[in-house]
Structure 1
């Protein structure tokens, strides 16, 4: 049985990755961004494959070559399933590299970035409410460029709170975020409702509890 604390153990490397992910979630919450991948990276992916093969044939293969190949293969994908597979492969190679480092140099204690200040988007009156309760809130005004990303993160946060509590009152928070996102696209609540009604007329709603069985 693998010693979880031994240098080079997979369990230890996975534990460090899990700790880092938890620290990132504490700092930033759920984050959602566009993938930014696709055919534009195909040429770089092919170049990385050739570099990896050439290094192998010369007996000069390094972890850098292998991880670079996996990384650019992921960047060249646009299909979600293929992208996910490539990202898993990239993460697996990165973990193997960590294990190799631990075997050669001994395992070190991973330092998470818990010291960084976390922040999140809040409703306009939250600082006022905190001050009324005797607190001293520290705030900043988000730039227009980061507003969409912050609202997407807030969407996940509010959806998660509803899922965790099953409290219908949380749906009002979710709706507020949806309205704010719609405003970024110059859509009024009335126009949102028009879009919803149009889709309901074309495709139906969810009132019949229909569940589609997907092919294998």
Structure 2
């Protein structure tokens, strides 16, 4: 295998390990123009370091990383993330050339595990299966955070499997989030209907083409 194939195989193995532990994860991007100043600073540092003969992989990866953070358009963001990943791969190849390749130890599940929100009867189901559940009640300040994470988890499972039964799980989380915001199901339906009256639904199957704006 070439050095590139070795690194990409390690990256693929790491992704598989992450998915075994955490499943399909979905989070908001959290990027936008508020990072443009940092991207400009990182680019200037690359130029200055290059002129002084002190350019490092850290400089290059930092520039690519902040350029990705500064993007909100999904097409451009994807391009920048691919470029960032490519630089990280180059850096690993450079490490291997200088220090010799070493077997990659993929992420392993920790003894402490991780916490996630589950349906109310899950501990009971675990007990009936002969196991001892480790569960606690979420504090007021963290409950919404757990619900948001659960919404991404359930949406990711539907996107991954296409199973319409997953939509029921999404709906359950939506109702719980609505309750956190003081909305009952009737009020939530009223908001949905009002938006549908103003903007329409999705019955027409309209697909709008968007184009990146010029710099």
Same fold (TM over 0.5): yes
| 2:40 aligned residue | 46
CA contact (8 A) 2:32 2:70 kept: yes
TM-score (norm 2): 0.82
The worse-fitting range, judged by mean Cα deviation, of 71-80 and 100-109 is 71-80
The TM-score, its normalising length taken from structure 1, stands at 0.81
Show structure 1 runs of 5+ residues with no match: none
- Paired with 2:64 and 2:162, the residues of 1 have a C-alpha distance of 40
CA contact (8 A) 1:32 1:149 kept: no
* Secondary structure, counterpart of 1:123 in structure 2: coil
Q: What is the deviation of 1:78? A: 3.1
Q: Is the 8 A contact 1:29 1:153 kept in 2?
A: no
1:193-212 equivalences in 2 (<5 Å) = 193-208=189-204, 210-212=205-207
Q: Secondary structure at the match of 1:130?
A: helix
The answer as to whether partners of 2:26 and 2:156 remain within 8 angstroms in 1 is no
Other-structure match for 2:60: 66
* In 2: Cα distance, 1:161 partner to 1:76 partner: 28
* Change beyond 3 A, Cα 1:79–1:170: closer
**Residue equivalent to 1:93:** 87
User: For residue 154 of structure 1, what is the aligned residue in structure 2?
Assistant: 150
Written as runs of structure 1 = structure 2, the 5 A alignment for 1:1-216 is: 3-4=1-2, 9-116=3-110, 117-162=113-158, 164=161, 166=163, 168-208=164-204, 210-212=205-207, 214=209
- Which shows bigger deviation, 92-101 or 114-123? 114-123
User: Is the 8 Å Cα contact of residues 41 and 75 (structure 1) preserved in structure 2?
Assistant: yes
- Structure 1 consecutive aligned stretches of length 4 or more whose deviation exceeds 4 Å: 143-146, 160-163
What SS does the aligned partner of 1:138 have? coil
Is the 1:154–1:177 contact (alpha carbons within 8 Å) kept by the matching residues of 2? yes
Mapped contact 1:162–1:171 kept (Cα < 8 A): yes
Structure 2 gaps, min length 5: none
Note the aligned Cα RMSD (angstroms).
2.5
Structure 1 position 122, deviation (Å): 0.9
Compared CA separation, residues 211 and 75, structure 1 to 2 (3 A): closer
